[in-house]
Structure 1
Amino acid sequence: MYRSHAKLFDRIRRGFVEDRARVVIQSCMRRFIVLSRLQNVTQAAYSMQKFAQAKLLRVYVSNLHAATLTIQAWWRGNRVRRILQEEKLKLVLAGHLMRAEKQTLQECQQAVVLLRERELRGRLKKSWQLVHVNVSVERDDVYPKGWAAGIRTVESFNPGADLSHVELGAFHTVVATSSGYVYTYGLNDRGQLSIGASSTSGLPVPVQPISGILFPTKIVQVSCGVDHTLLLDADGRVFAWGSNQHGQCGCAPRQEIVPQATEVYFAPVRGAVNPMLKRTISTLSAGAYHNAAIDDKGRVYMWGRGDHIYIRGVFSDVPLPLWITHESIVDIGPLDRVVCGLGFTYLLAKDGALYVFGQAINGQLGLGSKHRRSRIAVPIENIDERVTSISCGVHTTLAVTPSGTVYQWGVFLLWDPQSQVCVKAQSFVPMPVDLRRGGITGVAVDVKVGWWEGVILTSDGLLWAWNFFDQPSDGIFRPAVYQYILAEGQCVRAVHVVSSPLFSAVFSKLEGDKTAEKARGAAAAPSAIRTRPSVNPNWDPMAYN
């Protein structure tokens, strides 16, 4: 059978071989064609690439040039706009400064008029005399007729009386007279003026005595917070009015505003036989949103915003006076004075030791940069002597010792000779102030703080002040001191400074002629007590803002 089909099988075998050859030939031809076409495409791509590169490069350069011109135009325009904005801001600030200086001049002119009027009435040495007013921000929205005009109005209501107390809140003024009347003027949006609940509009000048108190009454002390006021009379009673958002009035816990003067009642002493026994307050102080008072037994009461009281055991607002029984306060002993600031409280003991508690990130605790808050009363150990007087403001604190050494801590202004402007600086511990410069001959006996000002009264009856310090070259901070010039022969026996965001004002009480001569003679004589410009080695380095 194979033989019969051998020829067929041979033909099939030859067909397979021929087909394989055809496939190989076709594959070679296809490969050749593909390679040929690929070579043609590559050559075409190379040719197109040269053309496209030149074309795209021209487009790119053109777009880049246009973008550069656009950016340059925007930068020039933005720079011009920025320069214009800066110049506009400078002009606006210069305008505000000029208006503030003009208002300062107007207030000082009013002070001169007040001085002459009192001199004509023969009451020059019995009342607080307005020495100087420094307006930092325009005060027309609050005192459109001028701030000193309100004091003149009070004196016109009481021609035979003296100014016994003048205090400032943020935007309201409280004036008390020796005849036993209290007047207010300024804003009244939070009941600061104690003129009743029927009115929330402010008063440019006083109109009548405040409501809520039976006048006349002898006023012992007046103290203002931001939007509230405390008043202490000769009977040891405390009255409060104004904002009560955090319980800072110490009465009417459910009211956010106390529209008229209301008596503050203090909690009965634990263990007292008569729980209604009346507490007699001897001194008090209003902070920004909290208060403190000391009764005739030396007990300390506090009320107001809880995180400003910041004593151990107090974690929320205190709407009524709370007797503070923490051992860190009780163990201090007899207290002479309490001073409240913005979130902190100073306690000055009768032996001159100074204690502090609360919180202050600006260094006003005076305990060092690592201790910016304390829930217990801590002694300030960086002052080597006992403290005779202390005054604290929004930014800084001043204290003076019997030797006349003045200490300052907190935030203050430091003159930068390169930029020719003042910059803010901080000291977290009390630093001694060198008072030898500027011609100061007397020994500092009292200190007061304004908004930025530090004011001192010296033993020769002169008033000195500074707003900023020069850069220290030897570790000693020397203030740029200036003197408040008084009339010839006048000698100051007391100084009082009030301040607000709008302005600061300096008051003085004058000595009699014989007392003035004696004071000047004592200051001119050699004395063993001199100011000490020594530097405390435990200072923290200055931290600039």
Structure 2
Amino acid sequence: MVLFSSAATHTAQLKPVMDSHSHIIAWGSGEDGQLGIGNNEERGWVCVVKSLQPHRLRSVVAGSRNSLAIADDGKLFTWGWNQRGTLGYLSETQTKTENIPGQVKALSGVKIVQAAIGGWHCLAVDDQGKAYAWGGNEYGQCGEEPKDDTGRLLRRDIVIPQRCAPKLVVRQVAAGGTHSVVLTREGHVWTWGQPWPPGDIKQISVPVRVQGLENVRLIAVGAFHNLALQEDGTLWAWGNNEYGQLGTGDTQPRSQPIPVQGLSDLTLVDIAAGGWHSTALTDEGEVYGWGRGEHGRLGFGDSDKSSKMVPQKVQLLAGEDIVQVSCGGTHSVALTRDGRMFSFGRGDHGRLGYGRKVTTGQPMEVPMNIPPPQNLSDSAAAGHWISKLVACGGRHTLAIVEWKANES
């Protein structure tokens, strides 16, 4: 998640790696270089991130103004806005944005397996369960507590990634607007930073365990709200709730986890949190959405863009067999089992990916009009691109796609 946007980062380690006929594609706003295509232009149609083609990539994450990708060998690449150290390295050109992906060299000695982007900080975890943080740290969201000679806390940006939560063995990281959340291998959830809008609650730099959660399988974090899916299938939520994004039937914030209503008879397999909205995915490929409905980001149609206090089934995606949903700041994208993507929500800056800057609550398929791979055999030349993973950011979207030959 990111401030004013989000990404479903928890699915990163669950998807297949890229093969030789795969691409990272991007579309939407490029004003901070977050598309990674070598310029700062926006794109209303999908385009290929060409500089990453030599690498086998396993996941992508889209932030509010920056992006990252993880290679199969554990290398981490970042691009986009870098004013607060969010890319994890000092720019050689001294610019505040980078529009071509660059490797985070400080993490080259470890194998990164999953990562997250917050408002202006980032988190990553390696294959040993060690977590790292970098970027903005004025709310302690990177987890360190440097002090000056008088003992006063120094809230400096962390430009080079460093260890965070060193006492925990981490399985998944998630980042909010100004706070961080991790899931340990024991199934416990820990958090630090500023969990609610500044001034509402005390910020902390040392990880504190979230009470009441056991055997957690997945976490998802929005701007200032959090979701946790337990192994027994129950979904819990806490944090800010002004648009009903906790799914509790009201708009009261919660400092401790509370069960999300209306999902008890369903088998949930995935969750996602946007800036101020949430989704859950069932084992039957059905999507449930709740929270802020403005711009149609919940996918309930153009005639219903109201906020929802409890989860409701996205009927317009019924029958599509959805395997992943990614929630951005004001838009969402659903991925089908056969590799098609449906986008809905706010459409300016081209963030919906179908060429028209239309805002709609009606899910529409994203066309993948990019050339086929080169040097295909005659039998493989007839085919089409399918998406394997999608990640929504603030005003842009990334996806991993691969070429699928038509069945003869």
One-letter amino acid of the structure 2 residue matched with residue 458 of structure 1? T
Change (3 A) 1:350 1:175: same
Q: Report the equivalent of 1:508.
A: 400
Aligned length in residues: 348
Query: For residues 202 and 91 of structure 2, what CA distance do their matches in structure 1 show?
Result: 28
Q: Find the counterpart in structure 1 of residue 261 from structure 2.
A: 381
| CA distance in 2 between partners of 1:414 and 1:484 (Å) | 18
State, as a whole percentage, how many aligned pairs show the same letter: 22
Q: Deviations over 1:417-437 (max 9, x none)?
A: xxxx9995211111111136x
Cα distance in 2 for partners of 1:426, 1:285 equals 24
- The CA distance in 1 between the partners of 2:284 and 2:76, in whole Å, is 37
Q: Pick the aligned partner of 1:300 from 178, 186, 189.
A: 189
CA offsets per residue over residues 33-69 of structure 1, 9 Å max, x none? xxxxxxxxxxxxxxxxxxxxxxxxxxxxxxxxxxxxx
Q: Which residue of 2 aligns with 1:249?
A: 142
* Contact 1:191–1:197 (CA under 8 A) maintained in structure 2: no
* C-alpha separation in 2, matches of 1:260 and 1:322: 24
User: Is structure 2 residue 207 aligned with structure 1 residue 321?
Assistant: yes
1:467 partner letter? G
CA contact (8 A) 2:228 2:236 kept: yes
Residues 135-172 of structure 1 show CA distances to partners (whole Å, capped at 9, x for unaligned) of 3xx716878813799943344xxx2x222333233323
Q: 1:259 aligns with which of 152, 159, 181?
A: 159
Question: Residue 166 of structure 2 aligns to which amino acid in structure 1?
Answer: F
| 1:368 matched to 2:249 | yes
What is the match of residue 96 of structure 1? none
User: 1:483 is matched by which residue type in structure 2?
Assistant: E
1:72 match? none
TM-score normalised by length of structure 2: 0.74
Q: 1:336 aligns with which of 217, 225, 245?
A: 217
Matches within 5 A, 1:143-154: 145-146=39-40, 151-154=49-52
Distance 2:33 2:79 in 1: 12
Gaps of 5+ in 1: 1-120, 268-278, 416-420, 469-477, 519-545
Aligned residue number for residue 230 of structure 2? 349
Q: How far did residue 227 of structure 1 move?
A: 0.6
| Pairwise CA RMSD | 3.6
Q: Does 1:212 align with 2:106?
A: yes
| Bigger radius of gyration among the two | 1
Where does residue 454 of structure 1 map in the other structure?
332
Q: Structure 1's 204 and 360: CA in aligned 2 closer, same or farther, altered over 3 A?
A: same
Change (3 A) 1:442 1:260: same
Taking structure 1 as the reference length, the TM-score comes to: 0.57
SS at match of 2:98: coil
Equivalent residue, structure 2, for 1:163: 57
2:135 is the alignment partner of 1:236: no
Partner of 2:120: 227
Q: Structure 1 counterpart of 2:28, which letter?
A: N
The structure 2 residue matched to 1:464, chosen from 339, 342, 351, is: 342
* The structure with more helix, counted as a fraction of residues: 1
Query: Would you say the 8 A contact 1:246–1:318 is kept in 2?
Result: yes
Per the alignment, residue 49 of structure 1 pairs with none
Q: Which structure 2 residues correspond to residues 19-34 of structure 1 after superposition, within 5 A?
A: none
Q: Is the Cα–Cα contact under 8 Å of residues 251 and 262 in structure 1 kept in the other structure? A: no
CA distance in 2, matches of 1:428, 1:173: 31
